[in-house]
């Protein structure tokens, strides 16, 4: 039986126009790599059913409060029991009032400068999300700043070179892709993915697949 991935993209704050492109990208990755994607924006997906049937849960540019109390409890239980979690882009702008989510993800969004080109610097090539990338990768994104630097609690896979764009707020060390083991389950987060074009880029799709693969049971 093919693995199932729950892809969640509910927003109660800013909504990214790239969400449909992201859903399409993950669906096509599933067809390519042999897993089934269940895309939803319904909080009920986390209520009254066993999340254990999913090999991973992905938050795709979610924003604001997107879960009920029951959903939060079920997601925490799923993850503590070994379930994998992946966050993409605005997943860091989600559930600000739920402390567990902040530690799960590793850092929370603070701000970003205008959309512009910048240079991603791959720091760790030993992960499937970054091993295939050029060591310096020029691309267009929003280059999120975070409220705290996650480095002390995660494995940083890539940073952004703040000399390559204007308006960065983490000049000494600016992680944008990382992974860690939180509680009982694996976590992967990438701050990339603002534009629809990103999800049509084969290199970025491989980045997504590497991240997802690393958290799937």
Residue 169 is predicted with a pLDDT of: 97
Helix (H, G, I), strand (E, B) or coil at 113: coil
- Residues 161, 172: contact at Cβ < 8 Å? no
The mean of the pLDDT values for the chain is 97
Q: What is the mean pLDDT of residues 16-42?
A: 98
Read off the pLDDT of residues 72-91 as tens digits, 9 standing for 90 and up. 999 999 999 999 999 999 99
Q: Is the pLDDT of residue 116 over 80?
A: yes
Please state, in angstroms and rounded to a whole number, the distance separating the CA atoms of residues 88 and 191: 6
- The rounded percent of the chain whose pLDDT value lies above 70 is 100
Burial class (CB in 10 A: 0-12, 13-18, 19+), 14: exposed
Please provide the distance, in angstroms rounded to a whole number, between the alpha carbons at the two ends of the chain: 13
Q: Is the pLDDT of residue 193 over 90?
A: yes
Give residue 140's Cα distance to chain centre.
Answer: 17
Residue 58 is predicted with a pLDDT of: 98
Please state, in angstroms and rounded to a whole number, the distance separating the CA atoms of residues 49 and 74: 9
Going by pLDDT thresholds of 50, 70 and 90, the confidence category of residue 48 is confident
For 186, the token pair is: 């694996």
Read off the pLDDT of residues 131-179 as tens digits, 9 standing for 90 and up. 999 999 999 999 999 999 999 999 999 999 999 999 999 999 999 999 9
Residue 50 is predicted with a pLDDT of: 84
């Amino acid at each position: 039986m093919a693995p199932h991935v729950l892809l969640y993209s509910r927003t109660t704050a800013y909504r990214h126009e790239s969400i449909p492109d992201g859903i399409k990208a993950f669906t096509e990755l599933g067809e390519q790599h042999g897993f089934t994607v269940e895309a939803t924006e319904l909080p009920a997906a986390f209520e009254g059913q066993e999340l254990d049937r999913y090999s991973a849960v992905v938050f795709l540019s979610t924003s604001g409060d997107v879960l009920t109390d029951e959903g939060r409890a079920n997601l925490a239980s799923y993850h503590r029991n070994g379930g994998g979690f992946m966050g993409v882009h605005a997943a860091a702008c989600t559930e600000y009032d739920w402390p567990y989510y902040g530690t799960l993800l590793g850092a929370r969004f603070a701000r970003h400068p205008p959309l512009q080109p910048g240079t991603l610097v791959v720091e760790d090539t030993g992960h499937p999300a970054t091993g295939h990338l050029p060591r310096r990768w020029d691309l267009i994104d929003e280059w999120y700043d975070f409220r705290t630097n996650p480095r002390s609690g995660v494995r940083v896979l890539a940073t952004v070179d703040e000399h390559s764009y204007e308006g960065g707020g983490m000049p000494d060390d600016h992680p944008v892709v990382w992974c860690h083991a939180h509680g009982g389950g694996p976590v992967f987060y990438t701050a990339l993915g603002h534009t629809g074009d990103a999800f049509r880029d084969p290199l970025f799709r491989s980045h997504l697949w590497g991240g997802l693969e690393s958290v799937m049971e």
